[in-house]
Amino acid sequence: MSSFWFWIIPFSALTALLFAFFFFKQMMREKEGNETMKKIAHHIRVGSLAYLKQQYKIVSAIFVIIALIFSFLAFGLNVQSPWLPLTLISGGFFSGLAGYLGMRTATYASARTANAAMESLDRGLKVAFRSGAVMGLVVVGLGLLNVSGWFAILSYFVETSLPSQKLIMVTTTMLTFGMGASLQALFARVGGGIFTKAADVGADLVGKVEAGIPEDDPRNPATIADNVGDNVGDVAGMGADLYESYCGSILATAALGAATFAGSQFSADLQLKAVLAPMVIGAVGTLLSIFGIFLVRAKSDASSKDLLKALNTGIYASAGLIVVVSLFILHLLELPNATGIWGSVVIGLLTGIAIGKATEYYTSPLYSPTRRVAEQASKGPANVIISGLGEGMISSSFPVLAIVVGTFLAYAFASSDFGFGSKSMTMGLYGIGMAAVGMLSTLGITLATDAYGPIADNAGGNAEMSGLDPEVRRRTDTLDSLGNTTAAMGKGFAIGSAALTALALLASYIEALKMGMQNINMNSILINEISIPTHALTLENLMVYYQVHLLNPKVLLGIFIGAMMAFLFCGLTMNAVGRSASKMIVEVRRQFREIKGIFEGTTEPDYAECVKITTLSAQKEMLAPALFAVIAPVAVGIIFGVAGVLGLLTGALAGGFTLAVFMANSGGAWDNAKKFIEEGNFGGKGSESHKSAVIGDTVGDPFKDTSGPSLNILIKLMTMVAIVMSGVTVSFSLF
């Protein structure tokens, strides 16, 4: 019976990849438009691939170095799992592959979307959305393939003395594969984020403000880099990010399932089903996502309202169906308190929707917060900045409260214990993991709506640079604006799942500690003068043994350092954008000065040089923040031990999550306040209000596209590193 459940996972993975290939081929059959459109798309494609090639070169070198260190720790010092170097590289490789395939599709899709929009709005939507679906399905397909592949391999090879320990060992080893994915995601998000904003700021400041030429003008040498940035940051970065979230939520929940049902009172089959449950929900959610993608269709004369309805039909149908189907799955798996666990899955989905709606409320020009920011623009740039910061800070309260309520309910439903008794703790934590899985179960379609946005954005840029008919540009603008609306939901799911996954990972860290103890042959520990075998340790035992309580200064110091890490990381990435943008500015000025005929449009600027300069700068700048994220948990673990690490992770989660929401929403509000003014409000284009709003938008760019989205990965990467290095922490901690 259990093997049947297992085979659903690779089946779903391959189906997703097959449909991704089908959608890719379908998109490639579309015409790319006239020669200018093709030429612009070619420049962007070449630039994007050159960026990724350079990034993967550097990241590969880093992965090899880390894998060698892990090999030494595993085979030399025996403090790590011997699988670690392999799982690390595998996680990194597939995360990078997901980003690469998604980005490659996006770079082929933009001109085709613009060309399809010449025919009608719904044709444009179909090409852009199906191309976004390639990204969504590649991410979930590769994720499920990896998870099921490693599960099969490790189940075959891993041997333990106690049968109930085998699945714990398998799932905690699989968690280490998440570190590779997280590290790759961090490089993709930070590097891509720095690139895209440096190019954007460079293009705007020199092209628009100094030279006075409009946005997306082919005479601007930074224009192509700006469009490349949309692809490497918004598409490849987001793909790697969500691949990591998706796998992380499934792996953490599987590890918690193995630990929860490891006792002698549970059968081996039940433990296996608890491990498979999050994977199966993810797999079935993927099939439902494909179904949802086919529901997104509109008539040829559809209005933008019809298109939004079509997109929402797909998203909500998939989400609604997974709610129903997951109830059957959990009951068929015969998990104890299946309805309660199902309640956690539903709570996860509802929390994601609530955060998505809050994101939309705080960043859409249809609602008062963004309009208030726009109104402040008429008072001057300082007011815009103050107002954007204020609204962003206020906006963080709802998502945090949604996570609080969601976590509370997910825990309570799964444990059937609203009194939060210690006996039902592991079941409650399993519920939190299932909530994250529920939220990401239909990632195939939610990511499609997210990835579709940058494709429509690039299509608009292509239409602009190619001088297409204003009606076509209006259509691509409509598609872009639709993408922004639906992406708010995707962002809600990404942010919410990051918080829930990080919570589940935090619990998994305790399980990983047990594995670390076993790796160094620590087979039992003394608690209250009673010797307890390591494999039989409960969460409470470990909390007592490592003195994880708020009166332990090591926990408090860890919390401080964790909260500080979020700010340090943001500061480093923001400054990196500033430095990279400066290099871009110097280059654009040089080209305007030295290359004759750029202004007349008779000579093409050297686009490649701008891409090259920003690429190298972004690669250099991404290293320091990423290394801090890797080093911090190791250093805190060695100095303050397990208690310090748990404090660090808690501080980073609480501080980082709140900061991430604030930065993303402030940036979104500034951006949309500017667009609201450009639509003819508070003085419209050319007014002092507009000038102030442009300043706000420029400040907000690294907020929403570099630092904010990277924070989610920082939190999870630090947890992953802590999990992977638990053996080192246990073996070498000084205090």
Partner 1 sequence: MKIYFYLSLVPESLIASNLPPEDFGTYYATGAEKQSRGQAIFFEVSPFESNYFSFQDAESACVPHGDGQPKNSVYMGIYRVLEHIPLSSLKSLYLVTDDGKVLGIEQASFSETEPKHSYYLYQECCPTSSIVVSRLNSIDFCASMTNREHPISVSKLVFCDLMLDELANDADSQNIDDLPYERIPHLRNCLHQLEQNPQKMTKVFHRGIYPNVLYRTVNYGFFVGDHTNVLYYPLPSRHKLEREYYQWWRSALNTFRR
Residues that bind partner 1 (CB under 8 A): 208, 210-215, 217, 219, 464, 467, 469-470, 592-593, 596, 598-600, 680-691
Rounded Cα gap, residues 289 and 724, in angstroms:
32
Phi, psi of 469, deg, nearest 5: -55, 140
Query: Which one-letter DSSP state was computed for residue 219?
Result: T
Instruction: Give me the least distance between CB of 691 and partner 1, in Å please.
Output: 5
Question: Which lies closer to partner 1 via its Cβ, residue 210 or residue 334?
Answer: 210
Rounded Cα gap, residues 61 and 70, in angstroms:
14
Rounded Cα gap, residues 348 and 166, in angstroms:
29
Question: Which lies closer to partner 1 via its Cβ, residue 91 or residue 221?
Answer: 221
Question: Which lies closer to partner 1 via its Cβ, residue 53 or residue 685?
Answer: 685
Question: Which lies closer to partner 1 via its Cβ, residue 528 or residue 602?
Answer: 602
Rounded Cα gap, residues 186 and 572, in angstroms:
14
Give the ranges where 333-396 is alpha helix by DSSP (H).
338-363, 368-377, 381-395
Instruction: Give me the least distance between CB of 679 and partner 1, in Å please.
Output: 9
Which of 669, 628, 178, 117 shows the shortest CA–CA distance to 392? 669
Q: Which two tokens stand for residue 481?
A: 């604006």
Instruction: Give me the least distance between CB of 199 and partner 1, in Å please.
Output: 19
Question: Which lies closer to partner 1 via its Cβ, residue 95 or residue 692?
Answer: 692
Q: Which two tokens stand for residue 671?
A: 């951006």
Rounded Cα gap, residues 376 and 693, in angstroms:
9
Instruction: Give me the least distance between CB of 220 and partner 1, in Å please.
Output: 10
Is 16 within 8 Å of 141 (Cβ atoms)?
yes
Rounded Cα gap, residues 260 and 256, in angstroms:
6
Q: Which two tokens stand for residue 397?
A: 């309260």
Mode of pairing for the β-strands spanning 530-533 and 524-527: antiparallel
Instruction: Give me the least distance between CB of 464 and partner 1, in Å please.
Output: 8
Instruction: Give me the least distance between CB of 228 and partner 1, in Å please.
Output: 22
Instruction: Give me the least distance between CB of 689 and partner 1, in Å please.
Output: 8
Give the ranges where 158-204 is alpha helix by DSSP (H).
163-202
Question: Which lies closer to partner 1 via its Cβ, residue 3 or residue 602?
Answer: 602
Phi, psi of 533, deg, nearest 5: -60, 145
Encode burial over 374-407: b for 16+ CB neighbours within 10 A, e otherwise: bbbbbeebebbbebbbbbbeebbebbbebbeebb
Instruction: Give me the least distance between CB of 354 and partner 1, in Å please.
Output: 33
Question: Which lies closer to partner 1 via its Cβ, residue 412 or residue 693?
Answer: 693
Instruction: Give me the least distance between CB of 596 and partner 1, in Å please.
Output: 8
Instruction: Give me the least distance between CB of 212 and partner 1, in Å please.
Output: 3
Question: Which lies closer to partner 1 via its Cβ, residue 210 or residue 269?
Answer: 210
Question: Which lies closer to partner 1 via its Cβ, residue 360 or residue 477?
Answer: 477
* Alpha-carbon dihedral 185, 191, 192, 195, rounded to 10 degrees: 180
Question: Which lies closer to partner 1 via its Cβ, residue 501 or residue 591?
Answer: 591
Rounded Cα gap, residues 719 and 391, in angstroms:
30
Rounded to the nearest angstrom, the gap between the alpha carbon of residue 567 and the centroid of all alpha carbons in its chain is: 19
